[in-house]
Amino acid sequence: MAELLIFAAMEEKGFGLNPNLLETNLFNIVIFVGVLIYLGRGVVGKILTDRRQEIENLIGAAEQRKQLAMEQLAQEQQKLAQAQAACEAIKKRQKPMPRR
């Protein structure tokens, strides 16, 4: 009979927040997250450091490739200028053809 009265009393109360932190597991969740942050800081820090080093290496390699490409472009532009100069020289030496 007492169980029936407790059940009836719970139904009358309706929805509400439970102020007991241990019952709601909020306290446990805070402790769990704190432990994860404390223990995981080193692992995450190492992962981020490794990733940063990898990105810096990739940027350095890209800058070297850019420099090499700029040097090759300058060489090819010089060759183009020489070829155009040779073309102009050939055009000047060419005899005009007589008109019919």
Q: How confident is the model at residue 22 (pLDDT cuts 50, 70, 90)?
A: low
Cα-Cα end-to-end distance for the chain: 129
Give pLDDT tens digits for 30-69. 888 898 888 888 888 899 999 999 999 999 999 999 999 9
pLDDT band, residue 4 (cuts 50/70/90): very low
Does 39 or 100 have the greater pLDDT score? Answer: 39
Burial class (CB in 10 A: 0-12, 13-18, 19+), 23: exposed
Average pLDDT for residues 1-30, to the nearest whole number?
Answer: 61
